[in-house]
Structure 1
Amino acid sequence: MNKKLQMATLGGGCFWCTEAVFQEIKGVEKVVSGYAGGNVPGEPTYREICSGLTGHAEVIQITFDANIISYEDILVIFMTTHDPTTLNQQGADRGTQYRSVIFYHDENQRRVATEVLKQIQDYYEDKIVTELSALPIFYKATQEHQNFYRENTEQGYCSFVIEPKLTKLRKLHADKLA
């Protein structure tokens, strides 16, 4: 069967967390950490992003085989492995760079995302605040931010922040794991 490669661009707080989640999903070919959605010219640096002044969000860009996993399933996993009800915050990470955001690549993705957001709302007491926007320019983060969890599992952040998200992923979406 020929691969049917598509892309999704998502921000759910720190990109290290969302990257680690999607690297475990069957049908995901590649996950790249980066930034999108800012309002300053030029390619931003990690330090500039962390200031919260550029308007960029930490995001991941996922390349996936739609013959194995659907865009809808990607979004359901995304929406259930971070808190989409906290504005500009995931856990202790605070600022617009940590906002929950879906950057759609085309009109079909916008429609699917709108529907998923409506359906998922029933599972949360608080209102979902996930931003839904057309994909602007995506900037790839530097190499030290790629594959962060896999290369730094001994770090405290990985143990205390990322591993609980992976545990939740494995519990809720065992059928989607690689």
Structure 2
Amino acid sequence: MELQNTMEKATFAGGCFWCTEAVFLELKGVKSVGSGYIGGHTLNPTYAEICNGNTGHAEAIEIVFDPNEISFGELLEVFFATHDPTTLNRQGNDIGTQYRSEIFYHSEMQKEISKAYISLMTEENTFDAPIVTQISPVSTFYKAEEYHNNYYNQNKLQGYCSYVITPKMEKLKKVFKDKLK
């Protein structure tokens, strides 16, 4: 008996999309990851427009995954472990609303799992400061310009990649080795 196509989508904003894309591309069950912009008011925004912080969009990734191989909850676990969900509109030196922490849910189940996960982390004092990650319904996801796709893997020696993304990748390999491809 052949399995039905059960692919699902998850959309996360966790700062620079080069960082989040690189992390999620490594996970078993993740079929594709695309960088883009979501949650703003400008139609067809460009990277240059996003960078000024005036469009309202967040840099985000859209993940296509097989829930038979990796659950939405497992994706959340990796999401929260690989960015700082306690800094409002900031990830490290990247500052602005485009670098906010936000989950854009595709179903009521994703919304409820996200709320429960944040509640559990809050209850367990997982972080030293309150979690500021927003939970919003998915809206139009605009794909980023082509050169943003697979950016880390194509530019590992670039300064930002080696100083910001490589340490995240090392943490991923240490903490989530059982979830890697």
TM-score by length of 2: 0.95
Paired residue for 1:137, among 137, 140, 146? 140
Paired residue for 1:15, among 7, 14, 17? 17
Matched, 1:56 2:57: yes
- Aligned pairs for 1:13-162 within 5 A: 13-40=15-42, 42-121=43-122, 122=124, 123-162=126-165
Q: Which runs of 5+ in 1 are unaligned?
A: none
Identity across aligned pairs (percent)? 53
Q: Secondary structure at the match of 2:31?
A: strand
Deviation at 1:60, TM superposition (A): 0.2
Deviation at 1:29, TM superposition (A): 0.1
Moved more, 161-170 or 83-92: 161-170
Q: Which runs of 5+ in 2 are unaligned?
A: none
Amino acid of the structure 1 residue aligned with 2:61: I
For 1:107 and 1:20, locate their aligned partners in 2 and report how far apart those are by CA, in whole Å. 27
For 2:164 and 2:121, locate their aligned partners in 1 and report how far apart those are by CA, in whole Å. 23
For 1:21 and 1:53, locate their aligned partners in 2 and report how far apart those are by CA, in whole Å. 27
For residues 66-121 of structure 1, what are the alpha-carbon distances to aligned partners after superposition, in whole Å with 9 as ceiling and x for unaligned? 00000000011101110000000000000000000000011111001111111223
8 Å Cα contact 1:79-1:120 kept in structure 2? no
Amino acid of the structure 2 residue aligned with 1:144: Y
Amino acid of the structure 2 residue aligned with 1:71: F
For residues 9-59 of structure 1, what are the alpha-carbon distances to aligned partners after superposition, in whole Å with 9 as ceiling and x for unaligned? 00000000000000110110000000000023x110100000000010000
Q: Which runs of 4+ in 1 moved over 6 A?
A: none
For 2:117 and 2:178, locate their aligned partners in 1 and report how far apart those are by CA, in whole Å. 19
Deviation at 1:4, TM superposition (A): 2.2
Paired residue for 1:175, among 159, 175, 178? 178
